[in-house]
């Protein structure tokens, strides 16, 4: 899955990928009104962590 189903939001995708690839621990907080791609981002992060690959 990763972020392939998310159209646009390239700046957010870049930030999330950099956080996931970093050696230090970081926290991400996704806020916003409904239907602003929060859940697909979280599902993509879970998929990346499960498979151990960031694309």
Higher pLDDT, 1 or 13: 13
- 25 Cβ partners below 8 Å, 6+ apart? none
Please provide the average confidence, as pLDDT, over all residues in the chain.
88
DSSP 8-state code for residue 8:
S
Q: Is residue 40 situated within a structural domain? A: yes
Task: Give per-residue pLDDT as tens, 25-48.
Answer: 999 999 999 988 999 999 999 988
Domain count, the chain: 1
Domain hosting 31: range is: 10-51
Return the pLDDT at 2: 80
Q: Is residue 4 situated within a structural domain? A: no
Q: Is residue 5 situated within a structural domain? A: no
- Helix (H), strand (E), coil (C) string for 18-54: HHHHCCCCCCCCCCCCCCCCHHHHHHHHHHHHHHCCC
On the question of pLDDT at 54 being above 70, the answer is no
% of the chain beyond a pLDDT of 90 = 69
Return the pLDDT at 33: 95
Residue count (the chain): 55
Q: Is residue 26 situated within a structural domain? A: yes
Token pair recorded at residue 18: 């950099």
């Amino acid at each position: 899955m990763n972020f392939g189903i998310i159209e646009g939001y390239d700046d957010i995708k870049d930030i999330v990928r950099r956080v996931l690839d970093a050696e230090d621990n970081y926290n991400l907080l996704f806020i916003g009104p409904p239907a602003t791609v929060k859940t697909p981002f979280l599902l993509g992060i879970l998929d990346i962590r499960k498979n151990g690959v960031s694309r």
